[in-house]
Amino acid sequence: MLLWVVYIVAVPIFTWTKVDKIAFEPDGDRPDDQPGTTYLMVGNDSRAGLTEEERKKYATGNPSSSLADTILVLHTGSEKDVLLSFPRDWIVDGRKINGYWDPGDPTELVKALEQQTGIRIDEYVEIGLGGVAGVVDAVGGIEICPKEKIKDPKAGLDLEKKGCQEADGEVALAYARTRATTRGDLDRVGRQREVVAAIGEKVLSPWSVVNPVRWWQLNQAIPDFFAFGEGTGQLDVARWALALGKIGDGGLTCTMPVTDGSANTIDRDRADPLFDAIIEDRTDDITKKQCTQAGVAGS
C-alpha cells in the first residue's frame, strides 16, 4: 500500500518536470484582480509531437500548420462553474480572434480577450492537436453524444449513428475538429466543450487513479502536448482538472453570443451581462438567453 501511494504521488511530480511553461500575461493595463479563478484554454492544431503515421491516422494534413482552433475560458468560483467558447472567426478590430495567437506567445490573444470582455485571465493552458487523442486513449475512451450522423473525410470522421456512444482518441479528436454540420464552427465549439468536459470527468474518475497503468499513461500523455502558464503550479493544475470534471454536473457551457449565427459578430446585448457575471463571480445570474450552446439566440 505504501509503495502504491508513493507511486501515485511520484508519477505526476516526475511528469511536471517535463512540462513546458509559457509566459502569457501581457504588458500594460489589465483588468484588476477578480473573485474566483479564470483559465484560458487554447487548443492549437500544431502537429508537433505527432509522427507521420499519427498525422495520417488523425487526418491532420499540413504538418507545418499551427493555429488556435479552440479558445475556451473556464471560470470557477463561489457559484456555478462556466465553460465559455469563443468562436475562432470572431472579428476583433478587423482580425479573427485566433489571429492574435502566436505559437509560444499567447500574450496578444490574452490582451485582446481581456480588453473585449473585461475578464482577467488568471491561468493559461495550451493543448496540442495530439493531446486530445492521447489523453482520451489514456483514460480508456470517452462518451460523445452527436445529435446527427456526421461524415467528414477532412477530419477523418465517420459517425454512422447519432446519440451517445463510446469514442476512442482518434474519433474524439475528429469529432472535436469537424465543422461538417449545419452551423459550422458554432456547432464545433459545442462539440469541443463536450469532449473537454468528458475528458475532465474521466480523468477524475477513481479508476484513472487507482489503475497504475492508466495513471502512468495519462501522465505520460501530458508533456508532449500540454503546456501551462508561468506561475502555474501542480495544485493549480489539479484545481483546473477538478473544475473541468465538474462542469457537466451543474456547470454552464456556453458559446459567446453572436448576432447573426456567422460567429463573426458579438451580440453585446447578451454578451456583456454574461461577461459581467463572470467578472463579479455571480454566475448563478447568467440566463439561458445569454448562455446558449451555439451562441445564437434560441439555440
How far apart are alpha carbons 62 and 265 in whole angstroms? 29
What does residue 38 show for φ and ψ, rounded to 5 degrees? -120, 125
Name residue, grid cell 469532449: 195
Instruction: Say if 210 falls within a structural domain.
Output: yes
Instruction: Say if 26 falls within a structural domain.
Output: yes
Residue 42 pLDDT grade (very low, low, confident, very high; cuts 50, 70, 90): very high
Neighbours of 157 (CB within 10 A): 21
pLDDT tens for 55-96 read: 555 555 555 445 678 899 999 999 999 999 999 889 999 999
Structural domain range at position 214: 2-285
pLDDT, position 85: 93
How far apart are alpha carbons 67 and 109 in whole angstroms? 12
Instruction: Say if 290 falls within a structural domain.
Output: no
pLDDT tens for 174-197 read: 998 888 887 887 888 888 888 888
Instruction: Say if 299 falls within a structural domain.
Output: no
User: Which residues 6+ apart lie within 8 Å of 27 measured at CB?
Assistant: 107
Total domains present in the chain: 1
Between helix 169-177 and helix 185-203 the angle, nearest 10°, is: 150
pLDDT tens for 241-268 read: 888 878 878 899 999 999 976 778 999 9
Instruction: Say if 61 falls within a structural domain.
Output: yes
Answer yes or no: is pLDDT of 50 > 60.
no
Which residue, 137, 124, 123, is CA-closest to 220?
137
Q: What is the DSSP string of the chain?
A: -HHHHHHHHHHHHHHHTT-EEE--PPSS--PPP-SSEEEEEEEE---TT--HHHHHHTT---TT---EEEEEEEEESSS--EEEE--TT-EETTEEGGGG-BTTB-HHHHHHHHHHH-PPP-EEEEE-HHHHHHHHHHTT-EEE--SS-EEETTTTEEE-S-S-EEE-HHHHHHHHH---STTTHHHHHHHHHHHHHHHHHHHTSHHHHH-HHHHHHHHHTHHHHEEEETT--HHHHHHHHHHHHHTTTT-EEEE--BSSSSSSSB-HHHHHHHHHHHHTT-GGG--TTTSBSSSSTT-
- CATH code of 12's domain: 3.40.630.190
Instruction: Say if 291 falls within a structural domain.
Output: no
Instruction: Say if 294 falls within a structural domain.
Output: no
**Model pTM?**
0.83
Q: 220: burial class by Cβ within 10 Å (0-12, 13-18, 19+)?
A: middle
Q: Highest mean pLDDT range out of 85-94, 128-137, 272-281?
A: 272-281
User: Which residues 6+ apart lie within 8 Å of 92 measured at CB?
Assistant: 100, 112, 116
Instruction: Say if 297 falls within a structural domain.
Output: no
